[in-house]
Structures are given as structure tokens and as C-alpha cells.
Amino acid sequence: MVAVTDPNPGIETPLPEVSHVAFVVEDLEESMRRFGDLLGVEPWLVYRYEPPRLTDTTYRGEPVEYSMRVAMTDVKGPVDATTAVASGSTVKRLLGWFTSVRDRLGLGSSSGGGPGDGVVRSRGSPSPSLPTPGIPGVNVELIEPLRGPSTYTTHLAERGEGIHHVGCFAYDDPHAVVRGYEDAGVPIVQSGVFDGLEFWYLDMREALGGVILEVAANLGSIEEPDAVFPE
């Protein structure tokens, strides 16, 4: 884990929304079935992040080749903390993460679309859109690491499956936001470009109790998924 240079960096741009929460998993298909059975979320858009579609990958500040399989879906409507999923602990932990990010980074809800909105299209048909602002509807991502060192493999080795990061895709200027965090001493622990989509993982784990924040740009550039689950 990389330490934040200044534990209170004083970022000028507040977090506009939590767009996305990601889990690292051992088996993507089994996890999609489990999330579908327990939470009723589907369909999943499945992508294989690897060269030549995945480029410019870094880990801990160094160029590194890694790859993973990713599945994404949207959760619509308010999340009910009383829902009985693994005795409620999974949902309660998820809401705890949202609350932590909101309170410590200045999360505020807004209405309507924004510059960070995007829609992934699948095989000529509309696919689940990226989420509307605020906690009630979020994009859920499952990540199965394939090859190479990454925060995903480290997470599985040290903590097992579970919440890996939260993401914000609604910044007006994500490049400026990333530069601002770097200038404030928050390191980029991992990054890459997939189909033109740029993503950065900002390592806030030490300062915010395990939180990695993902910032992304050019979300509309992602092309067709490799598969849709269930078919």
C-alpha cells in the first residue's frame, strides 16, 4: 500500500457522486450468478481487458502488463440496508463505504445528466447506461484478474474477494482532478487505457480506511462487450 503524503490534502474539487462500486473476485461467472441470485442484478456486460485493447498500463508508478475480465451492470433504485444478503453484512458494508466517501470527500448529489455520463452499447442494442448521479443507482463491476501484478491480485492475496474500489465518472475535467490529487500527494497506484477509456486508481487506502478511488475519462469510447450474461 502506498501512503498518502498529506493525510489531509485539501482537494479543491469535491466528489460529485459515487458512480460505481467494484468487487474483485476469483471466478467471474460464479460471481455474476451469485450477485444475480442474491441481489437480482443483471444483465452483465462482460469485457476482456487485455492487449491490444488494453494499453498504457501501470502499477505502482511503473509500466506493467496486466489483464483482467470485467463484468458490469447497473443497480436501479434505492439500496435497502435491511435486505438479507449474507445476513445483511454485504449490503451494510457497501453502504458504509458510500457513507465514508460521502462524508470525508464531500459527496453531493445532483440531478440530471452531466459531462461524465456515458452509455455502453452492445451489439447494436441499448445496454445498461452508466448510473444517474447519487447513491440510489450505481454501476456495479466485478473484476477477475488474469495475468500480471495488479491491485486486484494483491487484494485477493491479502484480503480475498470483496470491495476493491469506488469510482466517480462525473468530473467535468477528470485529467485535472487526477493531477490535483497527485499534486496533493495522493498516488496513482494503477492506471490504463481500454478502448480509449482512461482510468486511474487513486490510493486513499491508508487515509480512508481501505478506499481506492477510480477516476475515468472518455467512457463513451467503450465498444461492444465480448459477451452478455445471462445470454
The CATH number that applies at residue 146 is 3.10.180.10
Per-residue confidence band for 100, with pLDDT thresholds at 50, 70 and 90 = low
The verdict on residue 12 lying in a domain is no
DSSP string, 184-195: TT--EEEEEEET
Its domain, for residue 130, covers 20-229
Q: How confident is the model at residue 75 (pLDDT cuts 50, 70, 90)?
A: confident
> Is position 46 within any domain?
yes
Is residue 118 situated within a structural domain?
Answer: yes
- pLDDT, tens digit, 9 for 90 and up, residues 36-70: 999 888 899 999 999 999 999 999 999 999 999 99
* Model confidence at 126: pLDDT above 70: no
Answer yes or no: is 6 within a domain: no
How many structural domains compose the chain? 1
**What's the helix, strand, coil split of the chain in %, to 5?**
25, 35, 40
Query: Residue 81 pLDDT more than 70?
Result: no
188 CB contacts (<8 Å, ≥6 apart)?
Answer: 58, 61, 178, 182, 200, 201, 202, 203
152 belongs to a structural domain: yes
Q: Are 189 and 212 in contact (CB under 8 A)?
A: yes
Residue 15 in domain: no
pLDDT band at 88; cut points 50, 70, 90: very low
Residue 9 lies in a domain: no
Find out whether 197 and 217 touch, Cβ atoms under 8 Å.
Answer: yes
Contact between residue 138 and residue 168 where contact means Cβ atoms under 8 Å apart = no
